[in-house]
Amino acid sequence: MRRHRVWFGLAMLVLFVLPFLALIPLGMFWLFQQGWLLYWLGVAALLGLAAHLLLRQLQPAEPGSEAQTAAPATDSPPEPDWTPRDRAAWRSVQEVAAGAGPESINDRERMLQLARETIERVAAHYHPDDPRPIWNFTVPEALLLSERIAARLRRVTLDSVPAAHMVRVGQVVQLWEHRQLALKGARVARYLNRIWRVARTVDPFSAVLAETRDRVLRAALGEAGAWLRGRGTRIWVEEVGKAAIELYSGRLRADARQLQELAAADTGLDTVADGAMPGALRLLVAGQSQSGKSSLINVLLGEVAAPADVLPGTAEALGYRLQRPGAGEFQLIDTPGVGPGTDLADLAEQAFACDLIVWVVAAHRADRALDRAGLDAIRGHFAQHPERSLPPVLIVASHIDRLSPAREWSPPYDLERPAGAKAGSIREALLAIGDDLGVEPGDIVPMRVDTPAEAYNADLLWAVLQERLVHAGHSRLQRLHLRAGQRDWKKILDQAANAGRLLTRLATHRPPAS
């Protein structure tokens, strides 16, 4: 029966194609009678040669060739709240992604191998001394990671999959059950396409154009498919890498609620409300003695407020609470003036416990060696602790009113296009401060801070601070994550007590009589 169907199909094909094939010799005979046959053959040869050259250019590159592997793949940037250690781990992830070819996405075993390689490299990065770093996480951390991945996958599905919120799982199952019918339909369509390609050779000119168009389209789709496969492989490695960084970096030791509780306790709050992170950013104010630190504090406060709790281990530092509309709440830490006998290591520890640093430099003084030493001590301390990023550092160039000519004071001054001796002196002082302290010009704010009433550029300082609040918030979050990783014996005792109560309830529970 099957053989009869095959012969019947061939017969139908011959009967369909034969009339069109007959037109070829008849048409050539007519061209011969008209004397046009040689011209037609010449044009056909030229078109054939052009089509051959074009098709060679459109021929897909062989797997593994330079053209196949030269598809550009840009590295995805790291997350803005990552620490230097996280960014170093991300570079390892990018190395794995760069070595994965686009063909990997078609191989399930290869994709699993890439995922395992990514996880192993990230785990070894965070725990280099552990012989089995891949298992260096707790059960609560793994559960929280699963929760976050599920939430992220749900968001991507709702945003990027058409009608995902309408299609039921049962409908997907039904479509999957009819997949064989869809495959048969695709085979029939390919069979009919071959018949059509043979039939259209009756007109050579149209056939060449149509074949060229099809090849161009297939080549374009092939290039797009290769790019999509390469991008899909990179996305797979990067998503696995991001999840591994979250797991092994320790940021999953506390969920959002626990971080809110730590933030509230950080600034002495008793209650935690749902929503934004409670508490205040810690702003460290430091600089040499007589540089105008305390005057700057008074300018920021408008008036001296009641001191807040002092930082642990910094009994000489003073804390002030400040609420700024549009900028939130701050805890200002006024440190003792830096001098020849200052313990710069202790100053660096104080900076490590803060989220934003303002260093005050007297613009009219040239002795900035202690300022540079203090800033270098802070930078070096953070460099030794890659689990924290260096928080934003702003330089306040105070006492600009004392620059030459000292008797002149007619603000405001345009420092981009200085007109006059005073503006020129201020600009030169800012450039010298930037060179001496190793800071960018955009991180230096020129000010007069004698009294709150006579202050100059206080609004500019607040504007610059507000631009860095996001960075400061990331710094605070990193600090809270470190606190969450510390051993809390009270929490262990509470967990033991809760476990005891649970076991007691289970032991005293009696199933109902049947």
Which tens digit of pLDDT belongs to each residue from 400-440? 999 999 889 999 999 999 888 999 999 999 999 999 999 99
- Size of the chain, expressed as the number of residues it contains: 514
Kindly report the backbone phi and psi dihedral angles of residue 281, in degrees, each rounded to the nearest multiple of 5, phi listed first. -75, 140
pLDDT confidence of residue 447? 95
Evaluate whether 388 touches 351 at the Cβ level (below 8 Å).
no
pLDDT confidence of residue 489? 58
Residue 313 banded pLDDT, cuts 50, 70, 90: very low
pLDDT confidence of residue 18? 65
Q: How far apart are CA 414 and CA 193, in angstroms?
A: 74
Q: What is the mean pLDDT of the chain?
A: 79
User: Which domains occur in the chain, in start order?
Assistant: 2-66 (no CATH), 69-248 (no CATH), 279-484 (3.40.50.300)
Terminal-residue alpha carbon distance, the chain: 66
CB atoms within 10 A of CB 93: 27
Looking at residue 24, its amino acid is I
Joined together, the tokens standing for residue 394 give 């702003």
Q: Comparing C-alpha atoms, which of 94, 52, 55 is closest to residue 73?
A: 94
Residue 267 banded pLDDT, cuts 50, 70, 90: low
Q: How far apart are CA 402 and CA 17, in angstroms?
A: 99
Residues 16-69 pLDDT 10s: 666 666 666 776 677 677 777 677 667 766 766 666 666 565 555 444 444 444
Residues 99-118 pLDDT 10s: 888 888 888 899 999 999 99
Q: Strand pairing partners for 328? A: 324
Evaluate whether 191 touches 10 at the Cβ level (below 8 Å).
no
Q: How far apart are CA 511 and CA 514, in angstroms?
A: 9
Mean pLDDT score, 327-341: 88
Joined together, the tokens standing for residue 14 give 């011959």
Q: Strand pairing partners for 444? A: 395
pLDDT confidence of residue 150? 83
- Cα-Cα-Cα-Cα torsion 499, 502, 508, 513, nearest 10 degrees, comes to -140
Q: How far apart are CA 240 and CA 123, in angstroms?
A: 12
pLDDT confidence of residue 481? 87
Specify the higher pLDDT residue, 77 or 307: 77
Report whether pLDDT(73) > 80: no
β-bridge pairing 393-398 and 444-446: parallel
Helix/strand/coil (H, E, C) string of 26-72? HHHHHHHHHCCHHHHHHHHHHHHHHHHHHHHHHCCCCCCCHHHHCCC
* Burial grade of 478 (CB within 10 A; 0-12, 13-18, 19 or more): buried
Find the DSSP H helices in 249-363.
Answer: 256-266, 293-301, 344-352
What are the CB-based long-range contacts (under 8 Å, 24+) for 377-386?
Answer: 377/344, 377/345, 377/347, 377/348, 378/347, 378/348, 378/351, 380/348, 381/345, 381/348, 381/349, 381/351, 381/352, 382/351, 382/352, 385/352, 386/83, 386/84, 386/85, 386/88
Q: How far is CA 219 from CA 210, 213, 214, 482, in A?
A: 14, 10, 8, 53
Residue 208 banded pLDDT, cuts 50, 70, 90: low
Helices 179-199 and 2-34, axial angle in degrees (round to 10): 30
Q: How far apart are CA 180 and CA 2, in angstroms?
A: 20
Looking at residue 426, its amino acid is I
Report whether pLDDT(308) > 50: no
DSSP, res 400: G
Mean pLDDT score, 309-335: 70
Evaluate whether 127 touches 248 at the Cβ level (below 8 Å).
yes
Map residue 498 onto helix, strand or coil. helix
For tokens 């104010």, what's the residue?
A: 285
Evaluate whether 368 touches 404 at the Cβ level (below 8 Å).
no
Specify the higher pLDDT residue, 160 or 202: 160
> Half-sphere exposure (CA, 13 Å, Cβ side) for 242?
15
Lowest-pLDDT range of 125-134, 394-403, 463-472, 498-507? 498-507
Evaluate whether 309 touches 268 at the Cβ level (below 8 Å).
yes
- CA of residue 417 relative to chain centroid, distance: 38
Residues 363-394 pLDDT 10s: 999 999 999 999 999 999 999 999 999 999 99
- CA of residue 26 relative to chain centroid, distance: 68
pTM (2 decimals)? 0.71
Specify the higher pLDDT residue, 308 or 159: 159
